[in-house]
Amino acid sequence: MPSPNKNVDQAFALAKERYAAIGVDVDKALEKLSAIPISLHCWQGDDVGGFENAGEGLGAGLAVTGNYPGKARTADELRKDLDEALSLIPGTHRLNLHASYAETGGKKVDRDALEPAHFKNWIDWAKAKKMGMDFNPTYFSHPKAADGWTLAHPDKGIRQFWIDHGIACRKIGAAIGEALGTTCVTNVWIPDGMKDQTVDRKGPRERLMQSLDAMFEKPIDPRLNLDAVEGKLFGIGSETYVVGMHEFYLGYAITRKKVYTIDSGHFHPTEVVADKLSQALAYVDRVLMHVSRGVRWDSDHVVLLTDDIELIAQELVRGGYLDRVHIGLDFFDASINRVAAWVVGTRSMIKALLLALLEPIDELRKLEAEGDYTSRMALLEESKTLPFGAVWDHYLQSKNIPIGRGWLDQVKKYEAEVLSKRG
């Protein structure tokens, strides 16, 4: 546990005065921030590998680059790495788990036969850490997904296999929610699509709708599990046609009362993803926000404190959506220390939320309502140079987390003592 730094306390006291001068209650902002959970994605720790070894490579347009040493090879190693990352991230967060991370005791269990018991170790781990969990069916890296088609597959038998997988995962999500006492969001993303010119765009979408309806036919208590559906603009191997694009899933979420998933890497690079939140939330009750960083395409780079991330956080706070939006991360980078990637990405999202919470939002709304756009612009610009860093350091210190580069020193020590010995 790091020793308290008096300089941090003094800087924080001065920062509070500066923020108070523009009507911002820093203590209240930090209280709100500490109550916002971010769902950390398990697949950053092992390059989306999972533990079933069912297929050769990821498939489904997924690609992880790099071969940094120390990748988690077992569920125990992955949980150990998550423990290390979470010890350097302020707040109480969640775990986002894929079905391919089941622990079956060495037995072959296909995905349509997965049960809550296969995730008992994960549930016990989360319970001990007083964390919630979210879940995902895995519609890739499997022989029955080798051609890039699953719920929209022309073969009825293969479609039924993936429907049954989805049904099994919803039951697992409900079991997670019941065991942990907090709702599990189970998110459905499929890779189905075409690489080149597509003649029949209607048929696959009709099949996908029928498959989803069959999967979601049996109601589940929303206090235990919420169903989410996620679209995408394109993928590797589905550049021309994606069956489940955003318009399809937004319509599905509205008509079937499902959670609509917005992944910040799944749109055209020039689109402002933050602007989609208020549009979707005008029609759906909840949104799952997958935060990623695309570079030229959906490349799932580690989340940084960029303009795009700040805009998402601003929209969540300014729109009053924090109680209606579930925030999760979705990136995978094997070219750098994987634990550090978790820490950097999650802390960047938390920083963006803190910056948004430190805006003088009441004054800004008043100025906008009065038509004083000059003062609105000026106040927004002035708030950018306020001592946010002093507030961030105080927040870290209050959670007994190293400030500055101290967290990186701890990760490097972990790398030397643990990761480097994995071969």
Examine the residue annotation and report whether 46 is marked as an active-site residue of this protein: no
Of the residues 266, 326, 351, 394, only one is catalytic, namely 266
Of the residues 41, 93, 153, 232, only one is catalytic, namely 232
Of the residues 52, 81, 192, 230, only one is catalytic, namely 230
Of the residues 300, 333, 393, 415, only one is catalytic, namely 300
Buried b (16+ CB within 10 A) or exposed e, 254-293: eeeebbbbbbbbbbeeeeebbebbeebbeebebbbbbbbb
Examine the residue annotation and report whether 330 is marked as an active-site residue of this protein: yes
How do the residues of the chain divide into helix, strand and coil, expressed in percent and rounded to 5? 45, 10, 45
Place of tokens 């925030």: 327
Of the residues 46, 263, 308, 359, only one is catalytic, namely 263
Angle at CA of residue 130, ends 125 and 131, nearest 5°:
75
CA distance 148 to 80: 33
Of the residues 330, 333, 359, 415, only one is catalytic, namely 330
Examine the residue annotation and report whether 232 is marked as an active-site residue of this protein: yes
Examine the residue annotation and report whether 189 is marked as an active-site residue of this protein: yes
* Burial group, residue 105, by CB count within 10 angstroms (0-12, 13-18, 19+): exposed
CA distance 20 to 360: 9
Amino acid letter, residue 242? V
Structure tokens at 295: 């570079």
Largest CA distance in the chain: 68
Of the residues 81, 84, 134, 298, only one is catalytic, namely 298
Question: How many CB atoms are located within 10 Å of the residue 143 CB?
Answer: 12
Examine the residue annotation and report whether 266 is marked as an active-site residue of this protein: yes
Examine the residue annotation and report whether 230 is marked as an active-site residue of this protein: yes
Of the residues 189, 342, 392, 407, only one is catalytic, namely 189
Of the residues 165, 290, 326, 351, only one is catalytic, namely 290
Report the catalytic residues.
189, 230, 232, 263, 266, 290, 298, 300, 330
